[in-house]
């Protein structure tokens, strides 16, 4: 694990270099921004909502939440002090956001305090997602809404594909699982929400596909985050494969698509 502070932590989030990880998260947020805006709009939530952002990381999505719930307020929580500092700096001008260091599996928040909870690409990093979801349910007001978005590595479709790529993704997922995470959580979100006591849960699938120059960024966004879970030989192999895929995509002979899963649960 690259960060000493996290050596005994029970989360599986890891990256090789903070600068490239910040670029990756920033591009990821940019790629999904419009869809996220549509997702929030469809939920028909009040702009006055009290919002919890669980696992805010460096705060790339915090500004969108703060703008969307402009008459409400946003509490953004993360375990990592270094990322929280970046989030504070990035969002220093926002008046309706409070950043807090904490574990969203054990929130230091009163029962029924939030109208909306957004957990984006963070539930796949905790060893006991049901415990986290129960905690979200505890702090959600009656009638409140939870939205969890996350990935599932089996949803990746690539051309050229190659056995190596699948093996490498599987190795990375296995290492993440050993650290207490789950790269295949997408398909489990419905069941996990039900187990946590959310009776009313719907899962939406959002496809992301590389189609032309302006979507090429999806390639590093998806695969660079896997490198931290691989050994140096595997890292080189993944880099070779993504380079080939990049060439094929640029030449118009390749294909890359993956799904984002969004579970929407009402209390
Ligand atoms: C892949 S990053 C996503 C960050 C942000 N949500 C985004 O979409 O850009 C996952 C984040 O979840 C945080 N995280 C993981 N487990 C956590 C926990 N139990 N409590 C609080 N934060 C957690 C990590 O520190 C990391 O910042």
123 lines ligand 1 (CB under 6 A): no
What are the two backbone dihedrals, phi and then psi, of residue 256, each rounded to the nearest 5 degrees? Answer: -145, 130
- pTM (predicted TM-score): 0.93
Decide if 55 contacts 120 (C-beta within 8 A): yes
Residue ranges and CATH numbers for the domains of the chain are 8-266 (3.40.50.150)
Q: What pLDDT, on the 0 to 100 scale, is given for residue 6? A: 42
Indicate which atom in ligand 1 lies nearest the CA of residue 119.
Answer: 6
Q: What pLDDT, on the 0 to 100 scale, is given for residue 133? A: 98
Q: What pLDDT, on the 0 to 100 scale, is given for residue 4? A: 47
Count Cβ atoms below 10 Å from residue 209 Cβ, excluding itself: 12
194-225 pLDDT per residue, tens:
999 998 999 999 999 998 888 888 888 888 88
Q: Give yes or no for a cis peptide into 19 (omega within 30° of 0).
A: no
Structure tokens at 1: 């694990």
Q: Give the total residue count for the chain.
A: 267
150 lines ligand 1 (CB under 6 A): no
79-123 pLDDT per residue, tens:
999 999 999 999 999 999 999 999 999 999 999 999 999 999 999
Which regions of the chain are under pLDDT 70?
1-10
118 lines ligand 1 (CB under 6 A): no
Distance 249 CA to ligand 1 centre (A): 30
Best probe residue, ligand 1, of 55, 76, 81 (max atoms within 8 Å of C-beta): 55
Distance 197 CA to ligand 1 centre (A): 23
d(CA 242, CA 220): 8
Q: How far is CA 40 from the centre of its chain?
A: 16
55 lines ligand 1 (CB under 6 A): yes
In this structure, the strands spanning 157-159 and 140-150 are unpaired
């Amino acid at each position: 694990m690259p960060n000493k502070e996290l050596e005994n932590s029970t989360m599986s989030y890891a990256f090789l270099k903070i600068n490239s990880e910040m670029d990756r998260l920033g591009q990821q947020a940019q790629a999904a921004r419009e869809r996220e805006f549509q997702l929030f709009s469809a939920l028909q939530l009040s702009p006055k909502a009290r919002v919890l952002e669980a696992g805010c990381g460096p705060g790339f999505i915090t500004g969108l939440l703060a703008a969307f719930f402009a008459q409400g307020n946003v509490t953004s929580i993360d375990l990592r002090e270094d990322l929280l500092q970046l989030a504070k700096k990035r969002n220093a001008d926002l008046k309706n956001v409070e950043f807090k260091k904490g574990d969203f599996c054990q929130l230091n928040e009163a029962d029924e305090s939030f109208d909306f909870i957004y957990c984006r690409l963070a539930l796949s990093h905790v060893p006991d997602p049901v415990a986290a979801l129960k905690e979200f349910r505890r702090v959600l007001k009656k009638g409140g809404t939870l939205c969890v978005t996350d990935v599932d590595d089996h949803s990746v479709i690539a051309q050229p594909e190659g056995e190596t790529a699948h093996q490498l993704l599987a190795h990375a997922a296995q290492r993440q699982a050993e650290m207490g995470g789950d790269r295949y959580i997408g398909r489990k979100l419905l069941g996990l929400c039900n187990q946590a006591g959310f009776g009313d849960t719907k899962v939406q699938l959002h496809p992301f596909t590389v189609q032309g120059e302006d979507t090429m960024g999806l390639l590093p966004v998806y695969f660079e985050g896997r490198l931290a879970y691989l050994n140096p030989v595997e890292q080189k192999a993944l880099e070779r494969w993504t380079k080939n895929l990049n060439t094929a995509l640029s030449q118009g002979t390749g294909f890359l698509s993956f799904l984002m899963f969004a579970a929407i649960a009402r209390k």
